[in-house]
Amino acid sequence: MKTRITELLGIQHPIIQGGMHYVGFAELAAAVSNAGGLGIITGLTQKTPQDLAREIQRCQRMTDRPFGVNLTFLPMITSPDYAGYIQALIDGGVKIVETAGRNPQVYLPQLRAAGVKVIHKCTSVRHARKAQDIGCDAVSVDGFECGGHPGEDDIPNMILLPRAAEELSIPFVASGGMANARSLVAALALGADGINMGTRFIATQEAPVHENVKQAILAATELDTRLVMRPLRNTERVMNNAAVERLLEKEAALGKSIKIEDIIEEVAGVYPRIMMNGDMDAGAWSCGMVAGLIHDIPTCRDLIQGIMTEAEALIRDRLIGLLD
């Protein structure tokens, strides 16, 4: 399948693996890229720019296909050395960056001068337009369903994607709630040029996370995520667990006076304990409603091949068939 996103990124299939904290290591990014999609290493999971440089080299030893690096600009207690991370990925020869959170404008001249294509992930049409106006090459439009940070507008993809199609001239991918061939065909029909998946790629053979995480996704239904940190305007969709219930009780009790310090135990530094050690109640971890559509743990190749084969059948047999 050829779309504006496969052409822009030089990939075979219009499927991207979104950056994921403590999931997006070289093993997963390489597996997705080797299967013809675009794998992405999560920049900030690497503690220093030097660590990122080593992770990029590891990925290059596992694939000769294009892969990207995610740079997330979220409110943090101490700001990471973004300039250092950007220099590391440029020096490493990475040609695609997925930015998320704050607008990446200040870093665009440096990235563009190095021939790096920028996909900015946004949760609203106004932010997508802004990304287009400042010169991003593509956007990833993240609906309310998504795992991670859906923003504060709560617009699901059924509305957000066709609104993005009305307003954008640059290519965009649908993100949030994407899992299978139906997702891809629907996203294309809604105006997107491909899909970005997070949660679905955690439940794959190559995702280098503890087996408990994959099993938790398999066991979950679409009813099992919760929104946390809304009072802090840093809303995150996470898998429900004991820590999340405790966090939500604190939010209900403290109301508008809540501060990040009140919930620090549930949100800070929990990813290594969950993703590496499989301690599933250690804290709040991002997960999409799409968990309800995930019933197996395939290889990335089988997942992507299956989506592409079934999407073709859906288009040829079901959709074109409807016209006969």
- Residues lying near ligand FMN in the complex (CB under 6 A) are found at 18-21, 23, 42, 70, 72, 100, 121, 142, 145-148, 175-178, 196-200, 285-288, 290
Rg (CA), the chain: 19
Q: Which CB atom, from 130 or from 316, has the smaller least distance to ligand FMN?
A: 130
Burial letters 125-139, b for 16+ CB under 10 A, else e = bebbbbbbeeebbbb
Q: Which CB atom, from 36 or from 176, has the smaller least distance to ligand FMN?
A: 176
Minimum Å gap between C-beta 166 and ligand FMN is: 22
Minimum Å gap between C-beta 264 and ligand FMN is: 18
Q: Which CB atom, from 65 or from 200, has the smaller least distance to ligand FMN?
A: 200
Minimum Å gap between C-beta 18 and ligand FMN is: 2
Q: Which CB atom, from 19 or from 49, has the smaller least distance to ligand FMN?
A: 19
Minimum Å gap between C-beta 139 and ligand FMN is: 12
Strands 67-73 and 39-42: parallel
Which residue has its beta carbon closest to ligand FMN? 198
Strands 195-197 and 172-175: parallel
Q: Which residues contact 92 (CB under 8 A, 6 or more apart)?
A: 52, 53, 56, 57, 60
The structure tokens 């409807």 sit at 322
DSSP for 152-172? SS---HHHHHHHHHHH--S-E
Minimum Å gap between C-beta 47 and ligand FMN is: 14
Please provide residue 170's backbone torsions phi and psi, each rounded to the nearest 5 degrees. -80, 160
Q: Which CB atom, from 125 or from 287, has the smaller least distance to ligand FMN?
A: 287
The span from the CA of 152 to the CA of 231, in Å, is 10
Q: Which CB atom, from 123 or from 132, has the smaller least distance to ligand FMN?
A: 123
Minimum Å gap between C-beta 80 and ligand FMN is: 12
The span from the CA of 275 to the CA of 294, in Å, is 18
